[in-house]
């Protein structure tokens, strides 16, 4: 087995609790529609919003038109919603920091939107050597290009990296292109798996 030189973390569902359900409920309430109605409209625009093909302003214009509602008046309803449901998994951030201190490069790789990215940057996390956001790169998981961008910025080979995500589809793609991958279940499970890859991790309690 090749020496592991980098670990790549997903954001939503790995480093933080999955924000999706809370985001859908928050925005649906603001627009006075059902969660299902909002979700159906949102899914039509998900890729374009997460690759910044449309701005947040355009996103809400299209959503409101589709749902027959008034456009939100908040400066950034998406950022407001994201902030309200943001629940970091501190043990995962501690893990990323400990890996970095032990000489392993760390990366964040997230399919996310400009307002959420702005919120992330405001948190000033210092445990990632590389931060890759789909809305900045214009491509999103599971496209191979975003994995290649991440590996390129880390400066290592595919087989020298471990990718952690809670989405089985993204895990399968990573494995197919030669990246070691772990489907997230818990922080303790991730620490144990990384130890099996020869990395020095904080032990489970």
Distances (CA, A) of 116 to 32, 136, 150, 172: 22, 12, 19, 26
Same domain, 70 and 91: no
| Domain tally, the chain | 2
Same domain, 25 and 44: yes
Percent of the chain with pLDDT over 90: 96
Strands 180-183 and 105-110: unpaired
Same domain, 63 and 132: no
| Full domain range(s) for residue 27 | 20-85
* Alpha-carbon gap, residue 52 to 59, rounded angstroms: 10
Last residue of a domain, one of 85, 114, 141: 85
CATH number at residue 174: 3.40.50.1000
pLDDT digits (tens, 9 = 90+) for 34-80: 999 999 999 999 999 999 999 999 999 999 999 999 999 999 999 99
* More confident of the two residues 204 and 111: 111
- For residue 202, is it within any domain? no
pLDDT band at 205 (very low <50, low <70, confident <90, very high): low
Same domain, 171 and 94: yes
Q: Return the H-helix or E-strand segment holding 106.
A: strand 105-110
* Alpha-carbon gap, residue 94 to 113, rounded angstroms: 25
pLDDT band at 155 (very low <50, low <70, confident <90, very high): very high
Same domain, 126 and 180: yes
> For helices 187-196 and 90-101, what crossing angle results, to 10°?
20
pLDDT digits (tens, 9 = 90+) for 167-186: 999 999 999 999 999 999 99
Span 194-199, mean pLDDT? Answer: 93
- For residue 143, is it within any domain? yes
Token reading at 103? 């000489």
Q: Does the pLDDT at position 201 exceed 80?
A: no
């Amino acid at each position: 087995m090749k020496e592991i030189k980098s670990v790549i973390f997903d954001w939503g569902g790995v480093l933080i609790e999955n924000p999706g359900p809370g985001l859908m409920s928050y925005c649906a309430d603001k627009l006075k529609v059902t969660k299902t109605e909002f979700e159906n409209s949102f899914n039509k625009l998900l890729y374009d919003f997460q690759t910044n093909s449309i701005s947040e302003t355009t996103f809400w214009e299209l959503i409101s038109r589709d749902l027959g509602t008034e456009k939100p008046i908040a400066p950034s309803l998406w950022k407001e919603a994201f902030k309200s449901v943001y629940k970091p998994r501190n043990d995962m951030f501690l893990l990323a920091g400990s890996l970095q201190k032990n000489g392993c490069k760390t990366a964040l790789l997230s399919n996310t939107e400009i307002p959420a990215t702005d919120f992330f940057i405001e948190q000033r996390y210092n445990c990632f050597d590389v931060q890759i956001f789909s809305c900045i790169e214009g491509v999103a998981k599971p496209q191979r290009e975003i994995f290649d961008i991440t590996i390129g910025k880390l400066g290592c080979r595919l087989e020298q990296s471990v990718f952690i995500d809670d989405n089985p589809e993204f895990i399968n793609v990573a494995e197919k292109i030669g990246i070691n991958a772990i489907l997230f279940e818990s922080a303790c499970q991730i620490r144990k798996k990384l130890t099996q890859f020869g990395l020095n991790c904080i032990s489970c309690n």
